[in-house]
Amino acid sequence: MPVVRHKTEFLEMEGHGRCEVLVVPKLSSVVEHQHYTKGSFTHPAKMSTMLCRELIRRYTKPGELMLDPMAGISATQIEAALLGRNAIGVELEKKFVDISRRNIKRLDGLKTPKGRAEIVKGDARSLSKLLRERADVAVFSPPFGDAEHHS
Ligand SMILES: C[S@@+](CC[C@H](N)C(=O)[O-])C[C@H]1O[C@@H](n2cnc3c(N)ncnc32)[C@H](O)[C@@H]1O
C-alpha cells in the first residue's frame, strides 16, 4: 500500500465553531481495493478504505484492539490488521458477515506483519454478550437511512 498524504481542512460551522475535515485522496480502485474480494463492493454503504486507514492510523496504536460494532464487509478490520492493530467486528446481516469472512481469510495469504482480524455475527445492541474481550477503541460508521435488516 503506498504512503498517502491526507490533508486536514477546517470549516466554520454556524453555531458550532470550527470543525476539522479530513480530505481523503482518491486512489485507483485497483490499489484501494486490492485486499478485498470482488463481492465486497456490493455493500451499499461501504466506507472508503483510505478513510478507514487514516482514522485507524491517527487514533489507534499498534497492538491495540479496535472494535467496529457495525462492520459491514470488515473494511475497518482489514485496514486495522494491515496497520498491525487487532480488530473485531460485529455485523447483523449474514450476507455481509459472509463477505467479511472471505476478506479476513485473504489476509492469511499476506507475508507482511499484520494484526488479528475477526468478525462476529450479531446485533451491536448486545455487545457485552457477543464479545469476550474489551476493546481499546471503536471506529465505525453507523447505518443511515431506512435500511431494512434481514438477519
Ligand atoms: C454504514 S455500514 C458500515 C460499513 C462498513 N464501515 C464498511 O466499510 O463495510 C453500517 C452497517 O451496520 C450494519 N448494522 C445495522 N444495524 C446493526 C446492528 N444493530 N448491529 C450490527 N450491525 C448493524 C448494517 O448491516 C451495515 O452493514
pLDDT digits (tens, 9 = 90+) for 85-126: 999 999 999 999 999 999 999 998 888 778 999 999 999 999
Contacting residues for 38 by C-beta, under 8 A, at least 6 apart = none
Query: How do the domains of the chain map onto residue ranges?
Result: 7-138
**Domain 7-138 CATH class label:** alpha beta
Higher pLDDT, 59 or 149: 59
Residue spans of beta strands (DSSP E) within the chain? 7-13, 17-23, 65-68, 86-91, 117-121, 137-138
pLDDT at 4 over 70: no
Task: Please tell me the chain's helix, strand, coil percentages from 3-state DSSP, rounded to the nearest 5.
Answer: 30, 20, 45
Q: Kindly give the distance from the C-alpha atom of residue 22 to the centroid of ligand 1, in angstroms, as a whole number.
A: 22
Q: Among 49, 92, 99, 140, name the best residue to mutate to test ligand 1's pocket (greatest count of ligand atoms within 8 A of Cβ).
A: 92
pLDDT bin (cut points 50, 70, 90) of residue 67 is: very high
Site residues for ligand 1, CB cut-off 6 Å: 43, 45-47, 70-73, 75-76, 90-93, 96, 123-125, 141, 143, 149
127 membership: H or E segment, kind and range:
helix 127-130
Task: Tell the residue nearest (CA) to atom 13 of ligand 1.
Answer: 70
pLDDT bin (cut points 50, 70, 90) of residue 140 is: very high
pLDDT at 73 over 70: yes
- Going 116 to 62 to 57 to 20, the CA torsion angle's sign is positive
**Average pLDDT rounded to a whole number, residues 65-93:** 96
pLDDT for the residue 97: 97
Task: Tell the residue nearest (CA) to atom 10 of ligand 1.
Answer: 143
pLDDT for the residue 71: 97
Q: Kindly give the distance from the C-alpha atom of residue 132 to the centroid of ligand 1, in angstroms, as a whole number.
A: 20
pLDDT tens digit sequence for 20-62:
888 888 888 888 788 899 888 888 888 888 889 999 999 999 9
pLDDT bin (cut points 50, 70, 90) of residue 145 is: low
Q: Kindly give the distance from the C-alpha atom of residue 119 to the centroid of ligand 1, in angstroms, as a whole number.
A: 12
Q: Kindly give the distance from the C-alpha atom of residue 27 to the centroid of ligand 1, in angstroms, as a whole number.
A: 24
Which of 12, 113, 99 has the alpha carbon at shortest distance from 63? 113
